[in-house]
Amino acid sequence: MKAILTVTLLLSTLALRPQTGPNTQGAWKMSRGNETSMLLVADNYYMQTSYAPDKYGRTRGGVWKQDGNKVTMTLEFDTEDSTRVGSSQSVDLASGNGQLAIITPNGQQVMTRVDDGSESKLAGLWRITGRANDQGVITTMQRGARKTLKLLTGTRFQWAAINPETKQFSGTGGGTYTLKDGKYTETIEFFSRDNSRVGKSLTFDNKLTGNDWMHSGLSSTGGKVSEVWSREK
């Protein structure tokens, strides 16, 4: 009853606002029991993951094309059903009082805003494009169907290694991040490959040059990391 009332109020608010559509950019959260569903939206891309403190659940993501109060989502990965990769779904949106309702014929999700993406210059969609060796020499990665993406909002991140052509999913992780004094720090809240890494914080030296972002430090396994990420449009 509470969820129905919330959606009704959001739809009433929507009817009174100009039809430019809600600002969906940023991070959104929904909780059911001990399970969290986190939705990140930036640069016409989205990732949504469900997880509990002690267990990674499922994830999906792809192109997010918003037109007013509607959005069309085209899947590039879906761990619940990989056969859906490549398919599109159009849904209605309503927002108000810091909440976003995603309304489908099968029901609705009502999510609460975590951030709007404006808090960080790193907010957006990134793709790994190169790695540096111990001497600092960067090897550019050949662009292909397989890709590792990282989506950042104002306070949250998620990466995913995927191949939309073959519908292969290789892994994901995410959580919160901070950017301070030239240091980029991630705190892991979910990791599909190894839940024991949840709670760890990783700090990297950080350098942003135009559309390229380089960070170097140690991975969650203790190995050296020196990566170049580029904005993906």
Closest by CA to 228, choosing from 132, 121, 125, 120, is: 132
**Same-domain status, 6 and 105:** yes
The DSSP symbol for 80 reads S
Q: How confident is the model at residue 11 (pLDDT cuts 50, 70, 90)?
A: very low
- Number of H helices and E strands in the chain, helices first, is 1, 17
The residue among 64, 88, 114 that closes a domain is 114
Instruction: Please provide the DSSP assignment of 1-30 as one string.
Output: -HHHHHHHHHHHHHHHS-TT-----EEEEE
Domain that holds residue 60: 2-114
**Same-domain status, 100 and 142:** no
Of the listed ranges 12-21, 31-40, 112-121, the least confidently predicted one is: 12-21
**Same-domain status, 108 and 133:** no
**Same-domain status, 136 and 222:** yes
**Same-domain status, 103 and 195:** no
**Same-domain status, 164 and 86:** no
Q: How confident is the model at residue 10 (pLDDT cuts 50, 70, 90)?
A: low
**Same-domain status, 108 and 135:** no
Residues 163-220: tens digit of each pLDDT: 999 999 999 999 999 999 989 999 999 999 999 999 999 999 999 999 999 999 988 8
The answer to the question of residue 119 being in a domain is no
Q: Report the domain count for the chain.
A: 2
The residue among 58, 81, 114 that closes a domain is 114
* Residue 76's CATH number: 2.40.128.50
Element (H, E) at 204: strand 201-209
**Same-domain status, 16 and 108:** yes
